[in-house]
Amino acid sequence: MRAGLKRDRVRDFLLDYVADKKPGEAIPSERDLCKELGVSRPTLRAAIDDLVRSGVLVREHGRGTFTGPQRVTQALAATPSGSFYAPPAEGKWLSAILEFGSSPAGPQLTSRLQLAPATPVLRVVRLRVVDDEPMAIERLHLPHELVPGLVPADMETGSFYKVLRERFGVDVRSAVQTIEATVTDETEAELLGVPEHFPALLVERTTRDVNQRIVEFTRSIYRGDRYRVTSELYFDAESG
Amino acid sequence: MRAGLKRDRVRDFLLDYVADKKPGEAIPSERDLCKELGVSRPTLRAAIDDLVRSGVLVREHGRGTFTGPQRVTQALAATPSGSFYAPPAEGKWLSAILEFGSSPAGPQLTSRLQLAPATPVLRVVRLRVVDDEPMAIERLHLPHELVPGLVPADMETGSFYKVLRERFGVDVRSAVQTIEATVTDETEAELLGVPEHFPALLVERTTRDVNQRIVEFTRSIYRGDRYRVTSELYFDAESG
DNA sequence: CGGGTCAACTGGTTAAGACCACTCTAGCGC
DNA sequence: GCGCTAGAGTGGTCTTAACCAGTTGACCCG
């Protein structure tokens, strides 16, 4: 109940429901789910809409609603054996922490993180390295109060999201991400070991936890010759 | 009424309305628009939702709804109004056909389209233009037998997928797409009206119909200053 | 004149219900 | 046995009608 919006609670319920289903399995009909969850159909449909948009569910008119063809977290896999979010389990990833410090949010981050301008924000810049080769530069910003006692070493290896969950009880749930093309500036080129004006992907990501609180805003530069975003799209009958 | 869905008519109305507005200008309040267009607020909001998702409009709680920033944002998930194929400003898109012809598949396309090397393949290069501004270069390849009698004019306006469905009975269903960063070469720069070595997105897409047949392989160059890919992700409990 | 308060906007969420369109299947008629 | 049809079930769309939650500015009081 704490989570606030019914739509979000319904969506989370469906995520849990779908978690141990195989791709293509049917979920209960909308009318049944309404009764079971005690919400109206528009609300239920709004929740399903979210999941359809992100590929978790697939609707088929007249037949039913089914789990999507694959796990969402794998849908945007980057080339080197891992998603944009989860470094590969093989453990070859390392991060060199270039900056680590707290300062007021300032005007930019105020809107990005939806905080008051004076709220302390932890800023971390890290260079992500695989097999001694620099791959990406990540600039993370998170409300400092969320992670009291976090130290740079926590972010050098392993999954940061795991640390968030297990040490700070922050349960990351969703993210909105934009990807655009750019070229490296002088600093970025040097850090990544590529020429200046080299092709690169600029990825901005806003991450939320189960309660829809904004957990982090991250702006990353990925080497254009090492990263590729793959996705699978499904059309409904009317898409042009 | 011909257009069918009210939501779509409302969306088209708003697209026209917004067409000659500067970025950041306000549009009428939702309640006023309801009265003016004779639709209910949920319907009106559904239309606005589409445009917000695709970046045409921006909402601000308590203040109003405004026209979005210049950049065209595309949702990675195929939604009726914001797919990779029918971008937001649907009505205003034009395509200049630069090449249009058939030739044997050759070694490259043999694997891409999964055809025999001698199979005739229709190759189309088109420059996509919005408001007299070049936005992208598309190189399409499709098995010629799929679209007998297709002429260049079929691809200059409107939705190509609609033509496929209604004229040739080819029902596009899914696509696998990869996005990477690149910079324009001399030819591309000239066509797109940008400097050489300008940031751009290279998008490759393999499209299949309902029977899992490969319908097309497309390689496109999108202007980096006009395109941005947006996606929404949900994590399940175990994602790291 | 300054400052706080409140009313009137704005968008945000939810409800309950009606009807349409599509899919599948059981059962009827041949 | 085969083929068609009718109905039940599914998602798709739309309406009316509330109420919640930020934002703004006019107004009143000190």
Contact, B162 vs B188, CB < 8 A? no
> What are the backbone angles phi and psi of residue A10, rounded to the nearest 5°?
-65, -40
Structure tokens at A84: 């944009």
**B49-65 CB burial, b ≥16 within 10 A, e <16:** bbbbbbbbbeeeeeeeb
Confidence category of residue B151, pLDDT binned at 50, 70, 90: very high
**What tokens appear for A33 in the block?**
């789910």
Q: Return the H-helix or E-strand segment holding B11.
A: helix B6-19
- Any idea what DSSP says for residue B4? -
CB B233 within 8 A of CB A73: yes
Strand C nucleotides, any atom under 7 Å from protein beta carbons: they are 9-18, 21-24
Contacts of A11 in chain B (CB under 8 A): 234
Query: Which residue of chain A is at minimal alpha-carbon distance from B161?
Result: A240
Q: What is the tens place of the pLDDT at every residue in B152-171?
A: 998 887 778 878 877 888 87
Q: DSSP string spanning A131-197?
A: TTEEEEEEEEEEEGGGSTT--GGGGTSS-HHHHHHHHH---EEEEEEEEEEEE--HHHHHHHTS-TT
Query: pLDDT for A163-181, tens place per residue?
Result: 888 899 888 877 878 888 9
Neighboring chain B residues of A42 at a CB cutoff of 8 Å: 42
What tens digit of pLDDT does each residue of A63-86 get?
888 887 654 333 443 333 223 333
Nearest protein residue to D14's C1' (by CA)?
B43
Q: Which residue of B has its CA nearest to A42?
A: B42
pTM of the entire structure? 0.73
> What is residue B144's DSSP assignment?
G
pLDDT band at B73 (very low <50, low <70, confident <90, very high): low
Separation between the CA of B35 and the C1’ of D13 (whole angstroms) = 19
User: pLDDT exceeding 70 applies to what percent of chain B?
Assistant: 82
- Whether A183 sits inside 8 A of B172 (CB atoms) is no
Min Cα distance A99 → chain B (Å) is 23
Determine the longest span between alpha carbons in chain B, in angstroms: 62
ipTM: 0.69
Q: CB distance B90–A240 less than 8 Å? A: yes
Give the CA-to-C1' distance from B62 to C6 in angstroms. 16
Percent of chain A with pLDDT over 70: 83
**Residue B175 CA to nucleotide C25 C1', Å?**
32
Q: Which nucleotide's C1' is closest to A28 (Cα)? A: D10
A5 CA vs C13 C1’ separation (Å): 8
- Provide the sign of the torsion angle of the four alpha carbons A235, A240, B4, B9, taken in this order: positive
Taking the C-alpha atoms of residue B44 and residue B38, their distance in angstroms, rounded to an integer, is 9
Which of B78, B158, B228 comes nearest A179 by C-beta?
Answer: B228
CA distance A107 to A104: 9
Q: Which residues pair with A37 in a beta bridge?
A: none
Q: Do A229 and B78 touch (CB under 8 A)?
A: no
pLDDT at A207: 86
Cα B106 to the center of its chain, rounded Å:
28
Q: Which residue of A has its CA nearest to B228?
A: A180
Q: What is the mean pLDDT of chain B?
A: 80
Minimum CA–CA partner of B170 in chain A: A237
Cα–Cα distance for residue pair B136/B128, rounded to 1 Å: 5
Single out the residue of A53, A39, A52, A42 nearest to residue A10, CA to CA: A39
**Residue-level pLDDT at A56:** 78
A100 phi, psi to nearest 5 deg? -160, 105
Taking contacts as CB-CB distances below 8 angstroms, the residues of chain A near B12 are: none
A5 CA vs D19 C1’ separation (Å): 14
Compare CB distances from B77 to A53, A71, A173 and report the shortest one's residue.
Answer: A53
- Interface contact flag, A239 B85, Cβ < 8 Å: yes
**Residue A54, exposed/middle/buried by CB under 10 A (0-12, 13-18, 19+)?**
buried
**Smallest Cα–C1' distance to nucleotide C11: which residue has it?**
B61
pLDDT tens-digit map of A100-150: 999 888 777 877 787 777 788 999 999 988 778 888 999 999 999 899 999
**Gap from B61 CA to D22 C1', in Å?**
6
Nearest nucleotide, C1' to the C-alpha of A64? Answer: D10
B184-227 residue pLDDT tens: 999 999 999 999 999 999 988 888 876 667 899 999 999 998 88
Pairs of residues, one from chain A and one from chain B, whose beta carbons lie less than 8 Å apart? 174
CA distance B12 to B88: 10
The answer to whether the CB atoms of B236 and A72 lie below 8 A apart is yes
Whole-number Å distance between alpha carbons of B120 and A48: 43
